[in-house]
């Protein structure tokens, strides 16, 4: 057995909180409803903070709660400084900050700078006339010579990304819905206004932001056509028919990201900037910025997109580690509000193995609400579909409702989520897979998550130590996490059949996803059951 990747520097105990911390994503519509309207809200989050403390969470990232017409469920913002009444009030939000901070939990907000709602006052003014002072807050172009859209850029939700404004005779650009016009980030006044939005929430005590579609913010100044995608097939989302090399990920975007970072740094070094970026690794890591003055954590979605195969995932880990800039801190995600849940992708048995992977890899982990109890994507009847992506491209499996269903708290009415009719249906297995049922079961998914989080918190080798691959065969992914004083072996069987790993020395089993005897000493060969992950302390 040998390490096959270079050692990664072990950091001191003075590291910022997010290097040791565990982040938990809440989709607020679906977490906890406090007033019986069937939609989760801020007071519901407050009511569940003690659960998050018990689980061991350090920070909560909350998807958008700002004033919105809800064309895209909060990602179309009509006022960046107001809380939408569906979720509560600014007073509720201030109470959330106070209650979370009192419990040692930090609050991260979802910042949506790429686009506003078409009902935002800025856009209402911008479309009122071509010479309105707000006109250049958005992206306007004349029609093509044939009268059609200015170029071939595609909306992420299908169809052209250009919408003709009949009143002024120009097209405006929207990377998503036509109700979500893109802001013009080449305009210095837009930047000033949007940085003041950050300051507004930072002044209220927010601990950081996850920046929505960060890589979209700057577009090609010449508005050139995107090239056709030669690999596109009918089973892929429509916007993938072109390669978006001109409509996003422009070099100038890094200046914007560094400016956002500078705003956070005005408030001290512990405010966190996360970027949502779906790009290949080589382009993703550029968002750490020059001299690491960009995003602290450009979201790494390798595990969401990966083929569930040990050798493939090992290559993804090693390539990612090698691509990180010096001093750049890694991060890992298994699920989110836009992608199918891990349990639905790989099955609940493998989801336990995935949990061990997430919480033992080097870097900051983010847990999507409900993954810790093994929630699956729930079937959504056609008449209950809410997601605009599914409504625009129906029957293709692109809809995001299945992974956004209400949190399953207990086996009471509506799984304890609401006393009213939930905005999305609950999963059929809610009575078996819920917090109350799993909390008292030492072998449940929830208990496994809690143990892994606690063990990670207590051991520098797991939260700050080096990563080194361990040679393994067949379906086993194995690696070491180590400091000068401690070494841990993580062995993950990503297949259903038993497997054997030759260990790099004598070790003692600490945690097994399948209940292998804790404290068992393994001399040379670690026998893994199918779908088993093992965390073991190296003794030699």
CATH assignment at residue 140? 3.90.400.10
> Domain check: are 341 and 417 in the same one?
yes
Q: How far from 238 is each of 75, 367, 394, CA to CA, in Å?
A: 21, 29, 12
> Which CATH number characterizes residue 236's domain?
3.20.20.80
Is the model's pLDDT at 134 over the cut of 90? yes
276 is catalytic: yes
Strand intervals (E) in 32-105: 59-62, 66-67, 79-83
Per-residue pLDDT at 275: 98
Q: Which of 173, 195, 215 is the last residue of a domain?
A: 173
pLDDT for position 5? 34
Query: In whole angstroms, what is the distance from residue 170 CA to residue 184 CA?
Result: 15
pLDDT tens for 472-506 read: 988 999 999 999 999 999 999 999 999 999 999 99
Which phi and psi (to 5°) does residue 23 adopt?
A: -100, 145
pLDDT digits (tens, 9 = 90+) for 398-423: 999 999 999 999 999 999 999 999 99
Say whether 76 is catalytic: no
Q: Of 207, 212, 372, 387, which is the active-site residue?
A: 212
Residue 145 domain boundaries: 121-173
Q: Is 354 inside any structural domain?
A: yes
Same domain, 409 and 339: yes
Q: For residue 334, how many other CB atoms are within 10 A of its CB?
A: 23
Quick check: is 102 in a domain?
Answer: yes
- 180 is a domain residue: no
Answer yes or no: is 502 within a domain: no
Judge if 101 and 210 occupy the same domain: yes
Say if residue 211 is in the same domain as residue 331. yes
Contact 161, 225 (CB under 8 A): no
Q: Using CA atoms, how far apart are residues 424 and 401, in angstroms rounded to an integer?
A: 8
Please indicate, yes or no, whether residues 132 and 105 belong to a single structural domain of this protein.
Answer: no
Query: What pTM, to 2 d.p., does this model score?
Result: 0.96
Which residue has tokens 């390539």?
319
Q: Where are the beta strands (DSSP E) in 204-296?
A: 208-211, 272-275
Residue 2: inside a domain: no
- Our count of domains for the chain comes to 2
- Looking at the domain assignment, is residue 479 inside a domain? no
Per-residue pLDDT tens for 410-462?
Answer: 999 999 999 999 999 999 999 999 999 999 999 999 999 999 999 999 999 99
Same domain, 144 and 277: no
Stretch 369-375: mean pLDDT, rounded? Answer: 98
Could you say which of 396, 419, 451 is where a domain stops?
451
- Supply the mean pLDDT for the chain: 95
- Domain stop point among 451, 486, 510: 451
- Say whether both 337 and 417 belong to one domain: yes
Beta strand 499-502 with 525-528 is antiparallel
> Is the pLDDT confidence value at 13 over 70?
no
User: In this predicted model, what pLDDT tens digit does every residue of 72-93 receive, in sequence order?
Assistant: 999 999 999 999 999 999 999 9
Same domain, 435 and 300: yes
Q: Is residue 494 part of a domain?
A: no
Q: Are 69 and 110 in contact (CB under 8 A)?
A: no
**Is residue 68 domain-shared with residue 165, that is, in the same domain?**
no
327-371: per-residue pLDDT in tens? 999 999 999 999 999 999 999 999 999 999 999 999 999 999 999
Please state the rounded mean pLDDT for residues 215-222: 98
Q: Could you count the other beta carbons within 10 Å of the beta carbon of residue 158?
A: 18
Catalytic residue among 249, 276, 371, 438: 276
> Which DSSP symbol is given to 141?
E
- Does 152 share its domain with 91? no
Closest CA to 339 of 368, 382, 317: 368
Question: Is there a single domain that holds both residue 46 and residue 149?
Answer: no
Indicate if the pLDDT at residue 510 is higher than 50: yes
| 108 & 139 share domain | no
Q: Does the residue 524 lie in any domain?
A: no
């Amino acid at each position: 057995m040998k390490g096959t990747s270079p050692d990664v520097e072990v950091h001191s105990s003075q590291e910022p909180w997010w290097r040791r911390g565990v982040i938990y994503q809440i989709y607020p519509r679906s977490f906890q409803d406090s007033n019986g309207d069937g939609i989760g809200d801020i007071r519901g989050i407050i009511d569940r903070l003690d659960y998050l403390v018990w689980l061991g969470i350090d920070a909560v990232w909350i998807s958008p709660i700002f004033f919105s017409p809800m064309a895209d469920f909060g990602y179309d913002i009509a006022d960046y400084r107001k809380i939408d009444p569906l979720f509560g009030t600014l007073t509720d939000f201030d109470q959330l900050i106070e209650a979370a901070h009192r419990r040692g939990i930090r609050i991260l907000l979802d910042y949506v700078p790429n686009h506003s709602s078409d009902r935002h006052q800025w856009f209402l003014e911008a479309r009122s006339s071509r010479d309105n002072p707000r006109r250049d807050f958005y992206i306007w172009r004349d029609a093509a010579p044939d009268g059609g859209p200015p170029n071939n850029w595609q909306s992420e939700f299908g169809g052209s990304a250009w919408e003709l404004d009949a009143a002024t005779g120009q097209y405006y650009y929207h990377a998503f819905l036509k109700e979500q016009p893109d802001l013009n980030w080449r305009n210095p006044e837009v930047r000033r206004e949007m940085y003041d939005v950050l300051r507004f929430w930072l002044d209220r005590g927010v601990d950081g932001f996850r920046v929505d579609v960060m890589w979209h913010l700057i577009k090609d100044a010449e508005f050139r056509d995107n090239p056709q995608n030669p690999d596109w097939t009918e089973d892929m989302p429509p916007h993938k028919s072109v390669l978006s090399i001109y409509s996003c990920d422009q070099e100038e975007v890094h200046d914007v990201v560094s400016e956002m970072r500078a705003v956070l740094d005005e408030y001290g070094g512990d405010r966190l900037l996360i970027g949502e970026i779906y790009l290949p690794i080589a382009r993703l890591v550029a968002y750490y910025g020059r001299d690491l003055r960009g995003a602290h954590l450009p979201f790494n979605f390798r595990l969401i997109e990966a083929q569930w195969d040990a050798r493939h995932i090992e290559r993804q880990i090693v390539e990612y580690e090698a691509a990180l800039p010096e001093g750049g801190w890694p991060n890992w995600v298994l699920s989110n509000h836009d992608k199918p849940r891990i349990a639905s992708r790989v099955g609940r048995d493998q989801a336990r193995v995935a949990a061990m992977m997430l919480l033992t890899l080097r870097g900051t982990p983010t847990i999507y609400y409900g993954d810790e109890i093994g929630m699956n994507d729930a079937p959504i009847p056609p008449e209950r579909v809410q997601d605009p992506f599914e409504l625009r491209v129906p029957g293709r499996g692109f809809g995001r409702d299945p992974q956004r269903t209400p949190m399953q708290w207990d086996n009471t009415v509506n799984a304890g989520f609401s006393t009213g009719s939930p905005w999305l249906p609950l999963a059929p297995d809610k009575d078996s897979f819920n917090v109350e049922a799993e909390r008292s079961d030492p072998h449940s998914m929830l208990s496994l998550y809690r143990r892994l989080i606690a063990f990670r918190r207590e051991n520098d080798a797991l939260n700050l130590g080096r990563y080194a691959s361990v040679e393994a065969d067949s379906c086993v992914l194995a690696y070491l996490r180590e400091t000068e004083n401690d070494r841990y072996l993580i062995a993950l069987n990503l297949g259903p059949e038993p497997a054997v790993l030759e260990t790099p020395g004598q070790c003692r089993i600490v945690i097994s996803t399948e209940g292998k005897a804790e404290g068992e000493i393994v001399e040379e060969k670690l026998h893994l059951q199918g779908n088993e992950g093992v965390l073991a302390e190296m003794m030699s």
